[in-house]
Amino acid sequence: MRFFALISLLLCLTAAPAFAAPKTTSEPPSLQSNVSKALGKVKDDRSFLTFNVENDLFGGGTDRNYTSGVRVTWFDVGATPPEIFNRLADVIPTFSINKTTGIYYSLGQNLYTPKDITHTAQLPGDHPWAGFLYGSAGLSTITGNHVDEVEATLGVVGPAALGRQAQSFIHKYVSHSPKPMGWGNQLKNEPGIILSWERRFPYRFGFKPAGLDAGAEPHLGVTLGNIYTYANTGLSLRLSPYGMLQDDPVRVRPSMPGTGAFLVPEHKFSWYLFGGVEGRAVARNIFLDGNTFASSYSVTKKPFVADVNAGLAITYGKARISYAIVYRTKEYTTQTGGNVFGTVSLGFRF
């Protein structure tokens, strides 16, 4: 609990300057107006395609718990959103559709396994076998000095998610790892839905060391569904060349937020360092709690989980590659320790 109290304190201290009354009579330009102005100079190249891979083999060197996640996302800034988002704008406070609004679509697959994949039986107290195949549609928009993201995900858990086939193929032809033998114990087929809302508050620190730009971004959100139900809050930190407009890479939920957008119209090469911490109060995690409508193996989940991550992103022309390492605290009571995994993103602007 001390860990989450520290997160709350950091959020309060960091967000305070963003909400403080201005010292001058003229109000500084908002994030929305600054981004709108930057987008006005970029008539083309407003779409972003991001390929993201998360795996514990290039993080902690293990093969267990949350072992793999892949996601491909197409993000389009300035596209006309479906009518349903205009209705959301009428319901969600301080949420608007404007020139900064972007829509995105994702396809992905997550895999979860116990620590010893060579056993044909499910070992008591170890992580359940599970796969999740899904598609998502979402919207990101800037209103004033905050960013809102809403996302709907539809997918399936169980053999229909093709977890056995995906892991067996990768282990045989790519990583040459042991053959996974326990997929016969995986969760049963179940359709899944996830509805997520997240709000971020980008803020630049008042100092620019050696021409660099230091920033912090508190965020909070709520996710509901039979796959995940949790409330989250966290803080992202960033250090980059001054004036570079970049958002964090797309990652696999649950994770730190990011759209994968990067706008660097006057510079062919750029980079930035990023990191952060997030805490989640978890009410539902199907990959630990088991199937919703059928009897299945489960473990006792921990109600509070935290992620800590740090990484580097490099942009050259219309491409960006990033790597981050993530530490996730124990997610269930019989887990032997936290999980460490790496996340690699490759993005293209067109």
Burial 156-172 (b: 16+ CB within 10 A, else e): bbbbebebbebbeebbe
DSSP state letters, 247-276: -PPP-PSSS------EE-TT-SEEEEEEEE
Residue 257: the pLDDT is 78
Residue 190: the pLDDT is 98
Q: How does strand 339-349 pair with strand 47-55?
A: antiparallel
Provide the sign of the torsion angle of the four alpha carbons 169, 191, 134, 122, taken in this order.
Answer: negative
Cα pseudo-dihedral 168, 158, 74, 326, rounded to 10: -70
Is the Cβ–Cβ distance between 111 and 162 less than 8 Å? no
Distance from first CA to last CA of the chain, Å, rounded? 45
Residue 206: the pLDDT is 60
Left if phi > 0, otherwise alpha if psi is -120 to 50, otherwise beta: which for 343? Answer: beta
Enter the CATH code of domain 2-13+30-349.
2.40.128.140
At residue 338's C-alpha, the angle toward residues 337 and 341, to 5°, is 135
Residue 23: the pLDDT is 38
The string of pLDDT tens digits covering residues 319-340 is 999 999 999 999 999 999 999 9
Name the percent of the chain in helix, strand, coil, to the closest 5. 20, 45, 35
Rounded distance between C-alpha atoms, residue 237 and residue 204, angstroms: 10
Domain ranges of the chain: 2-13+30-349
For residue 98, what are the CA distances in angstroms to 39, 142, 228, 241, 248?
A: 12, 8, 30, 27, 21
* The pair of three-digit structure tokens given for residue 327, joined into one six-digit string: 């530490």
- Residue 84: count of CB within 10 angstroms of its CB: 12
Tens digit of pLDDT at every position of the chain (350 positions): 433 333 333 333 333 333 333 333 344 567 776 666 656 555 566 788 999 999 988 876 777 899 999 999 999 887 777 777 777 777 777 888 888 888 999 999 999 999 999 999 998 999 999 999 999 998 888 888 889 999 999 999 999 999 999 999 998 888 888 899 999 999 999 999 999 999 999 876 666 767 788 888 999 999 999 999 999 999 999 888 766 667 777 788 888 878 777 766 566 788 889 999 999 999 999 999 999 999 999 999 999 999 999 999 998 888 999 999 999 999 999 999 999 999 999 999 88
pTM of the model: 0.86
Residue 263: the pLDDT is 66
Residue 86: the pLDDT is 77
- Residue 83: count of CB within 10 angstroms of its CB: 8
Of the candidates 306, 286, 282, the residue with the CA atom closest to the CA atom of residue 127: 286
